[in-house]
Structure 1
């Protein structure tokens, strides 16, 4: 049975793979696994804190005209709050119930 991946186990595996990177015959496989774990680590840490990133609109609204991710009960889209309190988006969205900030763009671009 596979053990649940926790942030702590993820950190330990990252450290182990970073040490293994010097062995050339496994470097490519290790690098791909390392990249996957580096992506997973912040998500695991956020989940373990009990914070899924979504903010209920009834709790707080985002800044006006700032793009955010929105959930309308059916789909996730990018939208922005307009000055009169409604939402605008290039996609069709219905009643938005939750939102969260957009993730940071990649650093290597």
Structure 2
């Protein structure tokens, strides 16, 4: 997926195109074991292996996309 294609993904950004700022809560899409899941997580850092790790990532899945959390509505 190219950066141009991201415009057609309802705000989802491919992790191959860009990563969120460290320790900022975002929505993530995890894919693995034949399913995809959306969670709130933070990008925590990079392991010595070069892999990135997330606060809520299932070890059997891969984070493929992310997007900023929406603003809280005014009440």
Give the TM-score, by structure 1 length. 0.48
Work out whether 1:105 is the aligned partner of 2:72. yes
Higher percent of residues as strand = 2
Q: Which structure's CA Rg is the greater one?
A: 1
Give 5+ residue unaligned stretches, structure 1.
Answer: 1-48
- 8 A Cα contact 2:28 2:39, kept in partner: yes
Number of aligned residue pairs: give it.
59
Q: CA RMSD in A?
A: 1.9
1:68 to 1, 5, 26: 26
Cα distance, 1:95–1:50 mapped onto 2, change above 3 Å = closer
Deviations along 1:48-98, one digit per CA (max 9) or x if unpaired, are x73510000000000000000000121100011012231112x74621000
The question of whether the paired residues in 1 share the 8 Å contact of 2:42 and 2:54 is answered with yes
2:41 is aligned with 1:79: yes
